[in-house]
Homo-oligomer: A and B are copies of this chain.
Amino acid sequence: MPYYVKGLFLDTPEIGQIRARRGWALVEGDCLAAFRTDAPEGSQTPILDFGDQLILPGFTDLHLHAAQYAYCGTAMDVELIQWLRDYAYPEESRFADPAYAERQYALFVRDLKASATTRACIFASLHTDATLILMRQMEEAGLRGYVGKLAMNRNCPDTYREPSTEEGVRETERWLDACDAMGFSRVRPILTPRFIPSVTDDYMAALGRIARERNVPMQSHLSENRDEIAWVRSLCPDTRFYGEAYARWGLFGGDCPTVMAHCIYSGEAECALMKQNGVMIAHCPTSNENVIAGIAPAARYLRRGWRIGLGSDVSGGHTLNLFAVMMAAIQNSKIYWRYVSQLEKPLTVADTLYMATAGGGRFFGKVGLFEPGYQFDAVVLSEAGLNSTREFSPLERLERYVYRGSGNPQAKFCAGERIV
């Protein structure tokens, strides 16, 4: 049944600009049907009246590891090798047990649901059954997203790897078949090779074939640190740059919609191919500082024609709260401006709102704006506790919320369904 939502709507039809409109959004089915600034007098359509509260498009989290959430916020002082050995791999391997997966993913889904995120691209673990459990829980929570069973068959512990390419391909096919059979309507699969060093050439070739045959998108990591880049070069001596190690299997945008996390040290050839193929960059500033990866040139990507959104990258990132990620993106771009390059001005609140909504939302189609025909994903913010003697403009209210708000909206809509 159609309904109106009333409030102060902020969105970003243009990069770097915030549009603020007080009014009524008419929701029909999963979409915004119309936006009006005059009251719908005499209409029988019900109105959800949020007064003058801020309403933003629901956020898209382009990159996160659900199977690492149990230790989120710890292991920040340890080195990468120890982080993988003592935290990431042992924790992810626990998802071999479906009962554990049910329990731990429930905590993850609870927190994601409470956040401002309506859509996400998610890494699960190697395990088909646990991945399906996560997908079912997301579905039941009303969240939308792509969820990927990890592919990984080399350079990882014996206790946590796929024993062969054949077994990996078989499980991938079983997983995709199950996704079809389970009739998910909100959540879809996405191919998820961990990153080039974790996946053999023949497995990558098979994933490329599956992507083409079954029309499945893909997600992975790219150019997060210099050691990793050198490692890929030694593993793939016939490629000119890291991204080509995905592209040669058809897994780098173009016909295969692709999200690549990080892209901190991408060179010009890699950047050119990302732009040409429309690869979506998941900028993950909280993670990038936590694991000492560095700072991606996000302002350049945003303003010079790349597709870019934000990722929480839990649990390299310490929070699912994309407002905190927006703040970190701004702060890191300021440090980048101070210490690395002054070619681009630092990111602003308007820039990062774009990245969290319209920017990342594109990966899901018409998502991330309050425009007719767009999916109605929306979050209603509560500014309780942020009172001041001062009057603020709508943009100042948003900025203040980004820096000081709780992050958890008072109400939340995903594709027209109210889920909080």
Contacts and interface: CB of A to CB of B under 8 A. Distances in A.
Nearest to A400: B73
A236 B337 CA distance: 30
A389 B70 contact: yes
Interface string A387-408: 1111010001001111110000
Contact of A77 (B319, B392, B399): B399
A332 interface: yes
A332 B295 CA distance: 11
A404 B76 CA distance: 12
Given A335-B295, A346-B292, A330 B389 contact: no
Nearest to A339: B339
A307 to B, nearest CB: 23
Q: Give how many copies assemble into the complex.
A: 2
A318 interface: yes
B331 A294 contact: no
A289 B335 contact: yes
A350 B77 CA distance: 10
A231 interface: no
Interface string A46-81: 000000000000000000000001111111110000
B74 A399 contact: yes
Interface in A139-179: none
Contact of A349 (B76, B104, B107): B76
A72 B404 contact: yes
Contacts of A389: 70, 100, 103-104, 107
Given A72-B403, A74-B403, A77-B349, 18 more contacts: A69-B388, A71-B396, A72-B388, A73-B386, A73-B399, A74-B396, A75-B399, A76-B330, A76-B403, A91-B390, A107-B388, A289-B331, A292-B335, A293-B338, A295-B335, A319-B403, A332-B335, A335-B335
Among A69, A71, A104, A350, the most chain B Cβ lie within 10 Å of the Cβ of A71
A275 interface: no
A243 to B, nearest CB: 22
B392 A74 contact: yes
